[in-house]
Amino acid sequence: MAVQKSRKSKSKAKSRRTKKLAFANVISDPVTGEKVLRHHVSPEGFYKGKSVLASANSDE
């Protein structure tokens, strides 16, 4: 098993981690066109182009 020769400094470790966070998983919704995090429902209630939230008027 590989073992590191010396300890990594805090700044080296943090800079290596931030490269993964540099590109946020933001996409534009195909229906509304607004920016949404991947695998999240948009504020309008759409997910993957389909309406997933029932509107307030449909409860009647």
Which residues pair with residue 40 across a beta bridge? none
Q: What is the pLDDT of residues 43-54, one digit of tens each?
A: 888 888 888 887
Does the model's pTM come out above 0.85?
Answer: no
Query: What pLDDT does 32 receive?
Result: 77
Q: Read off the pLDDT band of 60 (50, 70, 90).
A: very low
User: Exposed (0-12), middle (13-18) or buried (19+): which is 57, by Cβ within 10 Å?
Assistant: exposed
**Burial group, residue 60, by CB count within 10 angstroms (0-12, 13-18, 19+):** exposed
Closest by Cα among 55, 49, 51, 54 to 28: 49
